[in-house]
C-alpha cells in the first residue's frame, strides 16, 4: 500500500515516466519467510537485504506450451554456440518449454536496468554480483530456495564464496552461480628459464615474488623494458593481496570500510614495492591496454589474471610458453584469492516461475557445467565437479579451481561499483606516487563510508 | 529509462538550442541593411494590418501557429516537459524501476554542496567541474584562435582554397569516437607522437595514463577536431565583411596588420562571440573522449561533469543526484554564456 502511495505522489510530479514509476514488478504473494529450509546455509550474506515480500512456495509445473525468454551476454561466438546447444538440450528434456535466447550486446547492467524500468525483464537471465543487491532487495528476483528445497538442490552443493553474492541476509537464494574464475600467477616459462629461476609453485611467498620480479626485470624505463610483474591499479587484483595480509575491504556486516588498517597498509605497500623497486609497471607503461596483453607481448614475466587470459593467449599470442601458479602466500601464512562469478537468476514477475527454475537448475547443474569446463570456457561452481577428468589433463586450470576453498568474493554489497572505483583510485594514487599509502587509504575510507551511509 | 536518457539529451538540447538562437540572431545584427528600409517594410505591414479586420489577423496568427505545431509539439514534449521533469527528478531519489521514487526535497543538492564545503577534492562532481573549467578555458581559447588563423589563411589563398578547406574540415566530419580511437594510438607511450618527440631527443610522457598530461592530451585532440568547424563560421563571416570598409582602410594607408587588427577582427566580433559561446557550451559538455579514451582517469584527472552525471545515473543508479548535477551544470553554463555575451558581444542590442 505504501508503495502505491509513494508512486502516486510521484506521478503527480513525474507524469512523463508514468509507466516506469508505478510499474513495480509483481512479486508473487506471500509474506515473511518463516519455516522454509535455507538449504544448508547457516547464515546469509549480510551485505544484501532481503526483499520485503517474496515467493515462499514453489509453483507447480505447468502443462501447456511455455515460452521462456532468456538473456545474457556472450564473449565469443564459440561460447554463444555452446549456450545455445545447452539450451536446445534443455528443450529436448522439457518438450513443453520453448527457450527464446536473446543475448544483450554491450553494457549489460545498463541495458538490464532499462528493461527493469520498462517492465520487460527476461524470464531468466545472467546476474552479475554488482547487480545483485539492487535486484534482490527490491524483489525483482524469484526466490529459488523453495524450489531448491523441493528438488533437493543444496546450497552447499556450490562453493559458498560463489553462491554468497546471490544470497540475502536470511539465506534465501536468488541466483545460482553459473561459472567462476579466480586469480593465478601467469608466468612466462622462457623468461624464468633464461633467468635460471625455478618456476613459481604452491607455497611460494611474497618475498619470493619480489625476488623473482627483481631478477626478471630488464631495461626498466626504456622502450624495450621487460618487467618482472605488470600490475594494474585495480581493486579486483589488490583485494587478493589485502586478504592475504589478513585484511578485508568492509567490516562483517558491510556497514563500514575496513581496509584502512595495518593490514591494508601492508598490502598496499607490498603492491607498490614493485613500482618503488622498478620491478613492476602498469600495463599502459609497456603500451598494453591490460595486464594480459602485456604478458602476451612478453613485456611482463608475470601477471595476476584469471582463466579468461587462457583463450586470449591461445588466439592472440599462441607462441608464448606460459604456466599458471597459485598466488603467493602473504604474511599471515594463509593463502587467499578473489573469486569472480555470475549467476543464473529469474525475474520475480515471470509468468512461468516453475519453468524458469527448471531452466536455472539445468543450466547451473552438473551436465552444463561439465560441458563448459570441457570446452575450456570456465570453472565449475559445483563441488561435485572438483575431480572432473578434465582437470587431470589441464593442471593449470586445476590451480585456478583449487582456490575455491580459500577465495573471497570480489563483491562488496549495494555500493559495489563505487567501492571498487574508490579503492582503485587509492591504489592508483599510490602507484603513481601522488599520495602516501596511509593518506590514500584514509581518503578512500572517507569516500566509501559516505557512500555506505547513502551519500 | 527513456526519459532519463532524453533528460540528459535535453540538457544538451537546452544549450544547443540556446546556441542556435544566437546563431540565428547574429546574421540579422551583422547584416548592414539600411535602417530606413527595415522601417519602411515594417510601416507598410503595420498599415496593412490596421486596415484589415482583426478577425483576419487572428486567422493569420492561427495559421502561423498551425504551421508551427509540429515543431512546438516536439519542443514541448521533448524539451520543455523533459527539462521540467529533470528539475523535478533532482528532488527525488530515483533508481528507475527498483524502488519507488522518494521525494527528498533539496537533499541531493545539499549532499553536493556539503561536499563542496567539506572536502571538494574527494567529491567526483566538484573535481569534474574544476577539470572542465580548465578544459574549457584552454580549449575555447585554442580553438577560436586556431579557427580564426585557419580562416584568415584560407581567405588569403588564391589557389587550392577548396582542397585546403576540405582538408581542414575533415576532422569535423569524422565521428568523435573514431578520432578518439586514432588518438588512443597516437598517444600510446610507444606511439607516433612520442616517436616524433624522440627524434628531438625528448622522452614523451605516457600521455593518457599520466594524471598531469591526460587532460592536456584531450585538450589538444579537442582543439584539433573542433577548430575546423568553427573555421567555417569565420570563413563565412569573412566573406560577408563589407568590402567598402576594408577598401576605405586601405585607401587611408593602413597596412595589412592594422587592417586585420583594427578593422577585420572588430567586425568579426559577433562571430567571435558565437564561436566562443558555442565552443564553451560544447567544451562544458565534453563526454565522448573522456568516456572512450580515459574513462575519467587517471585519478579523475579527465573526469568531466557529463561523465560524472552518466556514472552517477547509470553505474551508481543515483538518478536524482545525477539530475541535480545536471541542473547545477546548466546554471553554470547559462551564467557563463550570459557573461560572455556581455563581454564579447557589444553590438547595439546586446
Cell of B257: 596588420
Per-residue model confidence (pLDDT) at position B345: 65
pLDDT tens across A278-336, in order? 999 999 888 888 999 999 999 999 999 998 899 899 999 999 999 999 999 999 999 99
* CB–CB contact B1 A446 (8 Å): no
Using an 8 Å CB-CB cutoff, list chain A residues near B122.
443, 446-447
Per-residue model confidence (pLDDT) at position B12: 37
pLDDT tens across A67-115, in order? 999 999 988 888 899 999 999 999 999 999 999 999 998 889 989 998 9
Give mean pLDDT, residues A15-24: 34
Domain A62-180+340-408, CATH? 3.40.190.10
Length of chain A: 455
> Cα angle at A135 between A134 and A140, to 5 degrees?
140
pLDDT value at A259 more than 60: yes
Using an 8 Å CB-CB cutoff, list chain A residues near B98.
116, 134-135, 138, 140
Counting Cα atoms < 13 Å in the Cβ hemisphere of A234 gives 16
Q: Give the span between the Cα atoms of A396 and A49, in whole angstroms.
A: 38
Q: Give the span between the Cα atoms of A433 and B296, in whole angstroms.
A: 19
How, if at all, do strands A227-230 and B92-93 pair? unpaired
Instruction: Find, in chain A, the residue whose alpha carbon is nearest to that of B118.
Output: A446
Per-residue model confidence (pLDDT) at position B24: 35
Residues of chain B with pLDDT under 70: 1-53, 345-350
Give mean pLDDT, residues A415-443: 93
pLDDT tens across A168-178, in order? 998 999 999 99
pLDDT tens across B74-121, in order? 999 888 999 999 999 999 988 887 888 889 999 999 989 988 898 888
Q: Give the span between the Cα atoms of B159 and B143, in whole angstroms.
A: 25
**Residue intervals in chain A for CATH 3.40.190.10:** 62-180+340-408, 184-338+411-452
Shortest distance between the Cα of B340 and any Cα of chain A, in A, equals: 35
Q: Give the span between the Cα atoms of B179 and B289, in whole angstroms.
A: 9
Per-residue model confidence (pLDDT) at position B303: 94
pLDDT value at A340 more than 70: yes
DSSP element (H, E) containing A280: strand A280-281
Q: Give the span between the Cα atoms of B235 and B164, in whole angstroms.
A: 13
Nearest to A70 by CA among A147, A141, A126: A126
Q: Give the span between the Cα atoms of B22 and B280, in whole angstroms.
A: 13
Per-residue model confidence (pLDDT) at position A41: 57
Residue among A7, A14, A140 whose CB faces B85 most closely = A14
Using an 8 Å Cβ cutoff, are A298 and A311 in contact?
A: no
CA B127 to chain centre: 21
Q: Give the span between the Cα atoms of B285 and B278, in whole angstroms.
A: 11
Q: Give the span between the Cα atoms of A66 and A91, in whole angstroms.
A: 11
How, if at all, do strands A280-281 and A227-230 pair? parallel
* CB–CB contact B208 A24 (8 Å): no
- Please state the φ and ψ torsions of residue A333, each to the nearest 5 degrees: 80, 0
Spell out the alpha helix ranges (H) of A33-107: 77-93
pTM of the full structure: 0.79
Using an 8 Å Cβ cutoff, are B32 and B105 in contact?
A: no
Structural domains for chain B: 2-344 (1.10.3720.10)
Q: For residue B234, is the peptide bond before it cis, meaning its omega torsion is within 30 degrees of 0?
A: no
Per-residue model confidence (pLDDT) at position B53: 67
Least confident of A37-51, A152-166, A341-355, B180-194: A37-51
Residue among B100, B208, B211 whose CB faces A432 most closely = B211
Superfamily of domain A184-338+411-452: Periplasmic binding protein-like II (3.40.190.10)
pLDDT tens across A128-165, in order? 999 999 999 999 999 999 999 999 999 999 999 999 99
Counting Cα atoms < 13 Å in the Cβ hemisphere of B291 gives 14
With cell 509453483, the residue in question is A59
Shortest distance between the Cα of A338 and any Cα of chain B, in A, equals: 22
Maximum CA pair distance of chain A?
A: 74
Using an 8 Å CB-CB cutoff, list chain B residues near A13.
88, 103
Burial of residue A261, with CB atoms counted within 10 A of its CB: 0-12 exposed, 13-18 middle, 19 or more buried: middle
Amino acid at each position: 500500500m505504501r508503495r502505491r502511495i509513494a508512486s502516486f505522489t510521484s506521478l503527480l510530479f513525474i507524469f512523463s515516466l508514468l509507466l516506469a514509476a508505478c510499474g513495480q514488478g509483481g512479486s508473487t504473494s506471500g509474506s515473511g519467510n518463516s519455516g522454509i529450509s535455507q538449504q544448508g546455509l547457516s547464515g546469509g550474506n549480510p551485505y544484501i537485504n532481503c526483499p520485503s515480500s517474496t515467493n515462499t512456495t514453489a509453483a507447480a509445473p505447468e502443462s501447456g506450451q511455455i515460452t521462456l525468454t532468456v538473456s545474457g551476454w556472450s564473449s565469443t561466438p564459440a561460447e554463444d554456440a555452446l549456450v545455445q546447444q545447452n539450451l536446445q538440450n534443455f528443450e529436448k528434456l522439457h518438450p513443453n518449454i520453448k527457450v527464446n535466447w536473446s543475448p544483450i550486446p554491450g553494457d549489460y547492467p545498463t541495458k538490464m536496468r532499462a528493461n527493469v524500468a520498462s517492465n520487460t525483464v527476461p524470464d531468466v537471465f545472467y546476474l552479475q554480483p554488482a547487480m545483485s543487491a539492487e535486484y534482490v532487495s527490491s524483489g525483482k528476483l524469484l526466490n529459488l530456495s523453495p524450489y531448491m528445497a523441493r528438488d533437493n538442490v543444496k546450497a552447499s552443493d556450490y562453493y559458498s564464496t560463489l553462491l554468497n553474492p546471490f544470497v540475502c541476509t536470511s539465506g534465501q537464494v536468488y541466483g545460482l552461480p553459473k561459472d567462476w574464475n579466480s586469480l593465478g600467477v601467469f608466468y612466462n616459462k622462457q623468461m624464468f628459464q633464461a633467468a635460471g629461476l625455478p618456476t613459481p609453485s604452491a607455497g611460494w611467498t611474497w618475498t619470493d615474488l619480489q625476488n623473482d620480479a627483481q631478477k626478471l626485470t630488464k631495461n626498466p624505463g626504456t622502450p624495450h623494458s621487460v618487467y618482472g610483474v605488470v600490475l594494474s591499479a585495480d581493486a579486483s587484483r589488490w583485494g587478493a593481496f589485502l586478504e592475504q595480509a589478513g585484511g578485508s575491504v568492509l567490516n562483517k556486516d558491510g556497514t563500514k570500510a575496513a581496509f584502512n588498517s595495518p593490514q591494508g597498509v601492508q598490502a598496499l605497500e607490498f603492491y607498490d614495492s614493485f613500482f618503488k623497486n622498478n620491478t613492476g609497471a602498469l600495463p599502459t607503461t609497456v603500451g598494453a591496454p591490460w595486464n594480459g596483453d602485456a604478458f602476451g607481448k612478453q613485456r611482463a614475466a608475470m601477471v595476476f589474471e584469471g582463466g579468461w587470459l587462457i583463450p586470449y593467449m591461445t588466439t592472440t599470442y599462441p607462441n608464448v610458453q606460459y604456466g599458471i601458479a597459485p598466488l603467493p602466500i602473504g604474511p599471515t601464512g594463509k593463502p587467499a584469492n578473489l573469486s569472480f562469478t555470475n549467476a543464473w537468476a529469474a525475474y520475480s514477475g515471470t509468468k512461468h516461475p516453475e519453468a524458469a527454475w527448471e531452466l536455472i537448475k539445468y543450466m547451473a547443474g552438473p551436465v552444463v557445467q561439465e560441458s563448459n569446463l570441457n570446452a575450456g570456457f570456465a570453472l565449475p561452481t559445483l563441488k561435485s565437479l572438483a575431480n572432473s577428468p578434465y582437470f587431470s589433463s589441464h593442471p593449470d586450470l586445476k590451480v585456478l579451481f583449487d582456490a575455491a576453498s580459500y577465495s573471497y568474493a570480489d563483491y562488496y554489497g549495494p555500493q559495489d561499483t563505487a567501492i571498487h572505483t574508490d579503492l582503485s583510485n587509492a591504489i592508483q594514487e599510490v602507484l603513481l606516487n601522488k599520495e602516501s599509502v596511509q593518506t590514500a587509504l584514509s581518503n578512500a575510507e572517507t569516500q566509501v563510508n559516505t557512500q555506505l551511509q547513502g551519500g | 529509462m527513456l526519459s532519463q536518457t532524453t533528460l540528459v539529451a535535453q540538457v544538451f538540447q537546452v544549450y544547443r538550442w540556446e546556441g542556435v538562437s544566437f546563431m540565428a540572431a547574429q546574421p540579422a545584427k551583422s547584416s548592414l541593411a539600411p535602417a530606413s528600409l527595415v522601417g519602411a517594410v515594417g510601416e507598410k505591414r503595420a498599415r496593412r494590418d490596421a486596415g484589415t479586420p482583426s478577425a483576419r489577423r487572428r486567422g493569420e496568427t492561427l495559421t502561423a501557429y498551425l504551421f508551427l505545431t509540429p515543431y512546438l509539439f516536439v519542443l514541448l514534449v521533448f524539451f520543455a516537459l523533459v527539462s521540467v521533469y529533470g528539475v523535478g527528478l533532482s528532488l527525488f531519489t530515483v533508481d528507475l524501476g527498483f524502488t519507488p521514487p522518494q521525494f527528498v526535497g533539496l537533499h541531493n543538492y545539499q549532499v553536493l554542496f556539503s561536499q563542496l564545503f567539506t572536502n571538494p577534492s574527494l567529491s567526483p562532481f566538484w573535481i569534474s567541474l574544476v577539470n572542465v573549467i580548465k578544459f574549457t578555458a584552454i580549449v575555447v581559447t585554442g580553438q577560436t584562435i586556431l579557427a580564426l588563423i585557419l580562416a584568415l589563411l584560407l581567405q588569403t589563398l588564391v589557389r587550392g582554397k577548396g582542397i585546403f578547406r576540405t582538408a581542414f574540415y575533415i576532422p569535423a566530419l569524422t565521428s568523435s569516437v573514431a578520432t578518439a580511437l586514432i588518438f588512443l594510438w597516437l598517444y600510446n607511450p610507444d606511439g607516433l607522437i612520442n616517436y616524433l618527440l624522440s627524434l628531438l631527443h625528448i622522452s614523451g610522457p605516457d600521455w593518457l595514463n599520466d594524471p598531469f598530461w591526460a587532460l592536456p592530451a584531450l585538450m589538444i585532440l579537442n582543439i584539433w577536431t573542433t577548430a575546423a568547424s568553427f573555421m567555417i563560421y569565420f570563413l563565412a563571416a569573412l566573406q560577408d565583411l563589407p568590402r567598402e570598409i576594408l577598401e576605405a582602410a586601405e585607401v587611408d594607408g593602413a597596412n595589412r596588420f592594422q587592417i586585420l587588427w583594427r578593422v577585420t577582427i572588430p567586425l568579426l566580433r559577433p562571430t567571435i562571440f558565437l564561436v566562443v559561446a558555442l565552443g564553451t557550451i560544447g567544451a562544458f559538455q565534453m563526454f565522448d573522449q573522456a568516456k572512450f579514451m580515459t574513462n575519467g582517469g587517471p585519478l579523475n584527472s579527465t573526469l568531466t561533469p557529463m561523465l560524472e552525471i552518466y556514472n552517477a545515473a547509470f553505474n551508481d543508479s543515483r538518478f536524482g543526484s545525477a539530475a541535480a548535477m545536471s541542473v547545477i551544470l546548466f546554471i553554470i553554463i547559462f551564467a557563463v554564456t550570459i557573461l560572455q555575451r556581455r563581454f564579447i558581444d557589444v553590438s547595439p542590442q546586446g
